[in-house]
Structure 1
Amino acid sequence: MVAHGDWPVDPGIIGPFLIAVLLVELTPGPNMGYLAALSAGQGRRDGFAAVAGVTAGLTAYMLAAAFGLTEIFLVSRPLYEALRWAGVAFLLWLAWDAWNGASDVGTVDQNRQSRWRLFLRGFVANILNPKAAIFYITLLPSFIQVDHAAPRTQALIFGSLHVAVSALVHCSIVLGAASAANVLAKAGRGGDLSGLRKAMGVVIALIAVWLAWETRR
C-alpha cells in the first residue's frame, strides 16, 4: 500500500483542486466568449481548432509557471500591463476580422489553412490572456505541499490536470454553441452566415472591453 507521503502530490487536495479549477473555467472569460462566438458563427470544427490552440497556449503557461517564469508578472507592472493591453488589442483585431469576414473560405485546402490560423489565433489569444498568468501565480502555488514531491513536479501534475479540465470545458462550449446555432438555423433564424460573423465580431469586441476592465490592477 502506498503511504500518503509517497504520493507526488497530496491526494486529499486533488478533489478540491479540480473543483477550484472547474469553477475558474466556468467563470465567463475571454476564452469562453471567443470560443462560443466562433463556434456559433463558423461551426464546431473551427471551434475545436481554436480549442487546440487555446490548450497549447495554456500548456505553455503551465510549463512557464513550473519553471518560475510567470513570476516576472508579479514584479514587473509594465510587463503585466503590456501583456494585458496586447491581449485586448488582439481580441479587437479578431473582432474586426470577424466583422469583415476575412476568414470566409470555401475549398478544402482553404478550410485547412483557416483552421491552422484559428489554432494560432487561439494560441496567441491565450498567451496574451493575463488571467492565465494570474491563475498560475496565485492559485496553483496554494496547492503545493512541502512534504511531497519537488514543487516543480507538483506544479506540472496540477497544471496538467488544469489543462485537461480546461480542454473539456472548452470542448463543451464549442459543442453547445455550435448546436445552438444549428437549432437557430433550422428555425430560419441563422441562415445568414455574414450576420452571424458580424454578431461574432461584436461579441469578441465586448469581450475585449470586459478583459480590459477585469484585469486592471
Structure 2
Amino acid sequence: MIDLAGFALAVLLVELTPGPNMGWLVTLTLAEGRRAGLGAITGIALGLAANAALSVLAASLVLAQDGGLTRAVSVLAAAMMTWLAWEAWQGAGESSPAATPRDGGKRHALAGFVINLLNPKAALFFVTVMPQFIPGGRPSFAQGLTMAAVSVTIATLIHLTLVLGAERVRGMLMAEHRALVVRRGLALAMLAVAAWFVSKAFA
C-alpha cells in the first residue's frame, strides 16, 4: 500500500522551501496582476505533471527489471534529500530549481511549462524519492501516477496561495531573519527524511 501521507510530507517540505517558482510568481503577480500569476501557475502545473509522468515511466520500467536496484535508489534518495537540505540551510533551497523566467510578455504559462518540464532536479527527486513510499520500492506505473498527482496538487496549492496572497507573502519572503529560521527548520526536517531513507536501504 502506498504511503501517500509520508510522500506528501516529503513533497511539502521541498515545495515550502523558497525558490525561483515562488519568487517569480510573487513578482509577476505584483507587477502584472493575479491573471498573469494564475496563467503562470497553469504552465508550472502542466510542466510539473509532464515531468512527473516521464519520471514515473522511467522509474517503473527500470526498477521493475531488477529488485537489487531498490537499495541503490534508497541511498540516492537519501543523498538527494541531503543535498536539498544543504541548499535550504545555505538559503538556496528551491521548489523548482531552474532559471527564473524574465519574459514580461504574455507567455508566462509557456515559460512555466518549459522550465518545469526540463527541470532535472525535479525529475531526480521524483525518481528517487517516490519508490521509498511503496512497499518493496518497485512502483507500478499506476502507483507512480497517483503519487505524481499528489505532488502536482501540493505544488499547485502552494503556488495558488502565493498568487492570492502576493502582497503579504512578499513581505514574508523578503524578511530574511524569518526566512532563515524557516529554511533551516525545513533543512533539518529533510535531513531526518534522508536518515530514514538510509535506514530503509540497510534494514
TM-score normalised by length of structure 1 = 0.56
> In percent, how many aligned pairs have the same letter?
11
Q: CA deviation at 1:123?
A: 0.6
Report the CA distance shift for 1:73/1:50 in structure 2 as closer, same or farther (over 3 A). Answer: same
Q: CA deviation at 1:106?
A: 0.6
Structure 1 consecutive aligned stretches of length 4 or more whose deviation exceeds 6 Å: none
| 8 Å contact kept, 2:56–2:127 | yes
For 2:48, which of 33, 47, 50 is the aligned residue? 50
Counterpart CA distance in 1 for 2:73 and 2:5 is: 24
Q: CA deviation at 1:163?
A: 2.1
Aligned partner of 2:142 in structure 1 is 161
Provide the alpha-carbon RMSD of the alignment.
3.9
Aligned partner of 2:163 in structure 1 is 182
Report the count of equivalent residues: 168
Aligned partner of 2:121 in structure 1 is 121
Alpha-carbon displacement from aligned partner over 1:97-153 (angstroms, at most 9, x marks no partner): 347x97333126994663344x32211112332x51562526x6xxxxxxxxxxxxx
Does the residue aligned with 1:97 lie in a helix, a strand or coil?
Answer: coil
Match runs of 1:26-175 below 5 Å: 26-27=5-6, 28-35=8-15, 37=17, 42-43=24-25, 44=41, 45-67=43-65, 69-74=66-71, 79=72, 82-92=75-85, 95=88, 96-98=91-93, 103-107=99-103, 111=111, 114-117=115-118, 119-129=119-129, 132-133=131-132, 135=134, 137=136, 159-175=140-156
Letter in 2 for 1:168: A
Counterpart CA distance in 1 for 2:10 and 2:154 is: 13
Report the CA distance shift for 1:53/1:189 in structure 2 as closer, same or farther (over 3 A). Answer: same
Q: CA deviation at 1:64?
A: 2.0
| 8 Å contact kept, 1:61–1:70 | no
Letter in 2 for 1:208: M
Aligned partner of 2:38 in structure 1 is none
Q: CA deviation at 1:172?
A: 1.9
Report the CA distance shift for 1:82/1:98 in structure 2 as closer, same or farther (over 3 A). Answer: closer
Letter in 1 for 2:85: L
- Are 2:194 and 1:215 equivalent residues in the alignment? no
Counterpart CA distance in 2 for 1:81 and 1:123 is: 15
| 8 Å contact kept, 1:91–1:208 | yes
TM-score normalised by length of structure 2 = 0.59
User: Which runs of 5 or more residues in structure 2 are unaligned?
Assistant: 26-40
Q: For the pair shown, which has the larger CA radius of gyration, 1 or 2?
A: 1
Counterpart CA distance in 2 for 1:35 and 1:164 is: 19
